[in-house]
Structure 1
Amino acid sequence: MAKQIRLIISKRKFSLTKKVNFICHLDCLGYVSYIDGEGGIIVPKSVRPIIDYEETFLGTQKGSKKQFRYGKLHIREYKDCYIVHMDKVDPRKDPLGHLLIDAPEYLAATIAGLEAAKQAGCTVYTEKKGSNALVDGLKAACLAGTVAATCSYILTSVVKQINRGI
């Protein structure tokens, strides 16, 4: 059963009649890429105007208005489109597994931040004398933890992008 799909891209009209996947049609045109830089599938709102799945707050916003989940399917809603990808682990069923497999940058940042905060806080607290030792230790812990977590997040995100490209 062949479907006819009409596309308007840069004020040009295209009609396609073939027994092929919709995304394949769009990818073959060469005018528009329907895969984002991270491997997510871009679905125009004209194709699927309403998403009636459960809204979620789990996941990185990346500029989206809303996020939805349906099992391992993760959907981000933007002004004109949705970007969809499959997670390997559903974060609602196995949050730790999701952090290990799908979002290791958050787990690495958390561990690095906590360890740096502990080390800096303990060092400053034991070396300081007086009534401000606790406050100074907490300040050092917050600063060191924030710096370590940020650096770790950036580094693991870059490694994840490199691995995705291979």
Structure 2
Amino acid sequence: MKMNEIDVPKHLRQFMLEGARETKLGDKKGAKKQYRYGNLHIREYDDKYTVHMDKYDPRSDPIRHLVWDAPEVLIGLAGAIIGGRKVGSYLYNKNKNAKQSSILSGLIASIVIGYISYSVSKKLKPQ
């Protein structure tokens, strides 16, 4: 849970802002559904809602949202691109006849390195 995230138990208050739109954007963190209303990010669970403000709405300003609200996604993508390219290039340079296996190895490495980069940066991200 983010430090600035508020839990609203459903048994105390059933609510949904008029104009809030269901969205697929954002980390669901186990929620059934999630909604956005401007910079407000609402997650719906069986027993509660969680609510927090993002600095930027990903629907209208996706780049700033990634940089300020979800940098772990950018770090994961960078790790995937850099790591996959390095592994694929290294293997290709060792054996120029193994182009397909170099590409496949680079792809697998990009998935693994990207996931590790994302996971580590998410754990290190200040809450």
Same fold (TM over 0.5): yes
Residue 74 of structure 1 deviates from its aligned partner by 0.2
Alignment counterpart, residue 120 of structure 2, candidates 144, 152, 155: 155
User: Counterparts of 1:1-166 in structure 2 under 5 Å?
Assistant: 37-39=1-3, 40-51=5-16, 52=18, 53-130=20-97, 133-160=98-125, 163-164=126-127
Q: Determine helix, strand or coil for the equivalent of 1:42.
A: strand
Structure 2 unmatched runs, 5+:
none
Identity %: 41
Alpha-carbon RMSD across the aligned residues, in angstroms, is 1.5
More strand by share: 1
Larger Cα Rg: Structure 1 or Structure 2?
Answer: 1
Structure 1 unmatched runs, 5+:
1-36
Aligned residues: 124
1:71-111, CA deviations, whole angstroms, 9 ceiling, x for partnerless residues? Answer: 00000000011001100111111111111000010100101
Higher relative contact order (CA 8 A, sep 6+): 2
1:127-156, CA deviations, whole angstroms, 9 ceiling, x for partnerless residues? Answer: 2243xx222112211222122212211221
- Alpha-carbon distance in structure 1 between the residues aligned to 2:55 and 2:95: 47
1:12-53, CA deviations, whole angstroms, 9 ceiling, x for partnerless residues? Answer: xxxxxxxxxxxxxxxxxxxxxxxxx42211112234324252
The one-letter code matched in structure 1 to 2:94 is E
- Alpha-carbon distance in structure 2 between the residues aligned to 1:134 and 1:49: 57
- Alpha-carbon distance in structure 2 between the residues aligned to 1:86 and 1:129: 51
